[in-house]
A and B are shown apart, each in its own frame.
Chain A
Amino acid sequence: MDILQNLINGISLGSVYAIIALGYTMVYGIAKMLNFAHGDVIMVGAYICFYAVSKYQLPPLVGILLAMAVCTVLGVVIERLAYKPLRQSASLAVLITAIGVSYFLQNAALLLWQSDPKNFPTFLNGIFGDKGITFLGRSITGTTVVTVLACVIIMVALTAFTGMTKMGKAMRACSEDKAAAQLMGIDVNRTISMTFAIGSALAAIAGVLLCSAYPQLTPTTGSLPGIKAFTAAVFGGIGSIPGALLGGLLLGVIEIFAMTFSTELSNAVVFAVLIIVLLVKPTGLLGKQIREKV
């Protein structure tokens, strides 16, 4: 067993989980809702980029920006139509609605783009030449390098944004107490819309990176990685931005190492580790302990 090669494979898988988990955790941290449709927004973003680059021959960067724009609008529209009317309802109602939106997006994509798989253009692999980067005799693909870099940049940017800008502070205030934030003059609806806009733009980037790493695109492409990324977010501590990155990377590495022992049991091992972590530390690796006020 080549430990270093497996580590590299694990990081390349984990970085994809991490980038999806960042969007999940961002929305959960602020709007306090599990947006199960996140994985499907990723799929939409990937399709937009695919059509822009493969069909209309636009430069990849334009394709990514276009995908981000479409997903941002889509995210805000979903929030307005499906989640906003339920803002005062039980969280279970919102959760079920999110699952409904997820199915809606999958089936709409099926109608629009048909079920036959599309092969995503691997423009990211070519960035460092055909062979990728060579590191201690093992090759790392361009996609992996870009994904890891993108994760770190997004993590730093999100942390800075929520920590330093006015909008970011408003988001944190909403996250702590919506009613109190409103009393302080924060437009809660606008803040949450903004959260979804950012989360969905991140989903578009995640979609492009996911499909660059595993270049097969179908209407259900986003659903399983979405669930794995959600697991990664819980693993790292849901709501915590560095936690998403850590959780994603660890999950990928554990999965790959588990596969070297048994491909059948890899998922079982991954979730067993998750259960153990949650037993020892219920808020996840980097999750904050939140004391409920009585």
Chain B
Amino acid sequence: MMKKLRILSLALAGALCFSVLAGCGSSNGGTANTPTGGNTETPAGGSAEPSGDASGAIKIGGIGPLTGGAATYGVATKQGAEIAVAEINALGGVQLSLDFQDDEGDFEKALNAYNKLKDDGMQILYGCTTTQPCVAVSSETYADRYFQLTPSASSTDVTEGKDNVFQMCFTDPDQGVTAANYIQENGLANKVAVIYNNGDAYSSGIAQGFIAQAKEIGLELVAEETFPDDTNTDFSVQLGNAQSAGAELVFMPIYYGPASLVLNQAKGMGYSPIFMGGDGMDGILDIDGFDTSLAEGLLLMTPFNASSTEERTANFVAKYQEAYGNLPNQFAADGYDCMYAIYEAVQKAGITADMDHETVCDKLIETFTSSDFTVDGLTGSGMSWSASGEITKDPQVFKVENGVYVAQ
């Protein structure tokens, strides 16, 4: 009995080893990535051939939340970039490969993802999607010398003091300033209230810019209301304060999810000021089941309009819908533009797949900051970058009318 068992277990162990080896061998043949566990697979796979990729694609690593609360943004930036990569590769010139890792919107997971991408031989980093992970990862890329382009992390903390980090989105304080100026120039309101998430760098960044500018240009700020990151469902108190202070316009630089609740609760209490939001408001009309009449008259700032008839945008929207079944938002468009910006910079700087990341980083920094480098994309034309990594493009104000964005 004992002997039988032992033979059986030996056989099982043998089978296990074999299947492990076979697994390594086949995965080595199947993917284009550099093998990571070279030692174990030599007997089975015979991987003596060099690790150079047949495709010669430039390896771009991506990081963003694909699961968790911020997944909408990460998924959009990933999918938008994938569309661009497919288009670029179909052109037949420089080839790009994108390996996008999930960070759940958490900075520790983002650092893990970054280390994994580094091990896999990444040359350029695309990401992170959200601000907090991006700040954490950008300090690492700065020290390690990787070129980094973020589609949507809009805080100035992301780029500050780091020459290798560039943004595709406009910065938070900029948006706040633009909003305050817009209200003043168009005479929308004299008494203004702000409701923002003070547990979120994005939201408070815009709000601070807005508040400072509002004081500067003489808008009367009657209520300055905040809510913490984890209590974002009940806004009755904040709205009540804005209402009793007589605010004619409520500026809320918050994401569209909580914003939809604000609109709903304002209607419930019979309060109907002008509501205005930043680019995080983009997407509110596409919430499944959202009563778009609630958003009637809502103002928002976004560089991208999915209902635009402009040819390149329409083409992108059609492809995106076909591939993923829903309308792309601004994040997807930023992702798409990021890939094209990298593509154009890579061509201009003459970067190839066998260059090490330090060289790539130096060359791309030089290209991005050179005065004759501009990119035309979905989110702006003639976009250029300053040495600090900030982009120059203008936020455009849209108004919701009859359930669609209308450019103002």
Contact = CB atoms under 8 A, between A and B. Distances in A.
Interface of A: 2, 5-6, 9, 12-13, 50, 54, 107, 110, 114-122, 125, 131-132, 139, 141, 214-216, 218, 220, 224-225, 255-256, 259-260, 263-264, 266-267
B52 interface: no
Nearest to B65: A115
Given A141-B268, A215-B264, A119 B291 contact: yes
A263 B226 CA distance: 6
Contact of A263 (B71, B75, B227): B227
B253 to A, nearest CB: 16
Contact of A260 (B233, B234, B237, B288): B237
Contact of A132 (B226, B257, B264, B268): B268
Given A117-B288, A214-B233, A263-B237, 4 more contacts: A54-B288, A122-B264, A220-B68, A259-B234
B228 A264 contact: yes
Given A2-B240, A118-B287, A267 B234 contact: no
Contacts of A2: 240, 244
16 contacts: A2-B244, A110-B71, A115-B71, A116-B286, A116-B287, A116-B326, A117-B287, A118-B289, A139-B270, A141-B268, A214-B261, A215-B264, A225-B233, A256-B236, A263-B225, A263-B238
A214 B291 CA distance: 14
A9 B234 contact: yes
B234 A13 contact: yes
Interface residues of B, number: 38
A264 B289 contact: no
Contacts of A259: 234, 237-238
Interface in B284-314: 286-291
A141 to B, nearest CB: 5
B67 interface: yes
Given A120-B289, A264-B198, A125 B234 contact: no
B101 interface: no
Nearest to B69: A220
A139 B243 CA distance: 15
A6 B288 contact: no
A115 B68 contact: yes
Interface string B229-252: 011011011101100100000000
A119 B260 contact: yes
Interface in B314-353: 326
Nearest to A121: B289
Q: Which 9 A-B pairs have the closest CB atoms?
A: A115-B71, A119-B290, A119-B289, A9-B236, A118-B288, A214-B233, A259-B237, A54-B289, A117-B257
| Most chain A beta-carbon neighbours within 10 Å: one of B198, B237, B270 | B237
A267 B240 contact: no
A141 B270 CA distance: 11
Contacts of A256: 234, 236-237
A11 B124 CA distance: 53
B287 A264 contact: no
A210 B232 CA distance: 14
A116 B261 CA distance: 15
A107 B341 CA distance: 34
Contacts of B270: 131, 139
Contacts of A220: 68-69
Given A218-B257, A263-B228, A266-B231, A115 B236 contact: no
A53 to B, nearest CB: 9
Contacts of A114: 71
Given A116-B288, A122-B264, A224 B230 contact: yes
A214 B268 contact: no
Contacts, number: 102
Contact of A110 (B67, B256, B264): B67
Contacts of B244: 2
A256 B71 CA distance: 30
A116 B237 CA distance: 26
B226 A264 contact: yes
A131 B268 CA distance: 7
Contacts of B10: none
A267 B269 contact: no
A24 to B, nearest CB: 19
A8 to B, nearest CB: 9
A229 to B, nearest CB: 13
B257 A107 contact: no
B72 interface: yes
A266 B198 CA distance: 13
B66 to A, nearest CB: 9
A57 to B, nearest CB: 12
Interface string B68-94: 110110010000000000000000000
B72 A214 contact: no
Contact of B69 (A122, A131, A215, A218): A218
B268 A116 contact: no
Contacts of B71: 110, 114-115
A3 to B, nearest CB: 12
A40 to B, nearest CB: 14
A134 B47 CA distance: 78
Contacts of A13: 234, 236
Contacts of B256: 117
| Most chain B beta-carbon neighbours within 10 Å: one of A6, A12, A116, A131 | A116
Nearest to A50: B289
A120 B135 CA distance: 35
| Most chain B beta-carbon neighbours within 10 Å: one of A6, A117, A220, A225 | A117
Nearest to B270: A139
Interface string B257-280: 110110010001110000000000
B67 A107 contact: yes
A216 B234 contact: no
A119 B288 contact: yes
A139 B269 CA distance: 7
B272 to A, nearest CB: 13
A263 B241 CA distance: 12
Nearest to A116: B72
A267 B237 contact: no
A67 B256 CA distance: 27
